[in-house]
Amino acid sequence: MSDTRDTKKVLIVEDSPTQALHLQTLLENEGLEVFLAHDGRVGLQLAQELGPDLIILDVQMPEMNGFQVCRKLKNMPGTSDIPIIMFTRHDEQEAVVLGLQTGAVDYIPKDAFADAVLLETLRQMEFVG
């Protein structure tokens, strides 16, 4: 059993409760500690408070979209080094490019393969075994 201090913290910023719970279950099954934010404002606040090891960010949210949240996180001293993965229904090339330009380390479209792609990305980042 691993020491709890070694448990990676992941913040999921997702306005859909169904999607958020799905991702939470997926990642907790991989041994990650998961925190949820239902919008960008709460996501920014929790990112500053928790200092997560990774942020998974939806693009389409009310008030502040994922691109705006990503840009703010990358410009704040306490959160600028946290890797961000955009996880979204927006799979247009322009959206992918914008996501990467705003500072995301990866951009994963929500499709039939999204869970597998996310887990493989986390394996490559050495977040899961």
* Fold classification of 7-124 (topology level): Rossmann fold (3.40.50)
Percent of residues, the chain, with pLDDT higher than 70: 96
- List, for residues 20-76, the tens digit of each pLDDT value: 999 999 999 999 999 999 999 999 999 999 999 999 999 999 889 999 999 999 999
Q: Exposed (0-12), middle (13-18) or buried (19+): which is 54, by Cβ within 10 Å? A: buried
> pLDDT category, 5, cuts 50, 70, 90?
low
E strand segments, 20-129: 33-37, 54-57, 84-88, 106-109
Residue 1 has pLDDT above 70, yes or no: no
Residue 3 has pLDDT above 60, yes or no: no
User: Which of the 8 DSSP states describes residue 8?
Assistant: P
What angle is formed at CA 38 by the lines to CA 120 and CA 33, rounded to 5 degrees?
45
The pTM assigned to this predicted structure is: 0.93
Q: What's phi and psi for 110, nearest 5 deg?
A: -75, 105
For the chain, the average pLDDT equals 93
Inter-residue contact 64 to 39 (CB < 8 Å): yes
Inter-residue contact 51 to 73 (CB < 8 Å): no
**What's the confidence (pLDDT) of residue 93?**
87
Percent of residues, the chain, with pLDDT higher than 90: 84
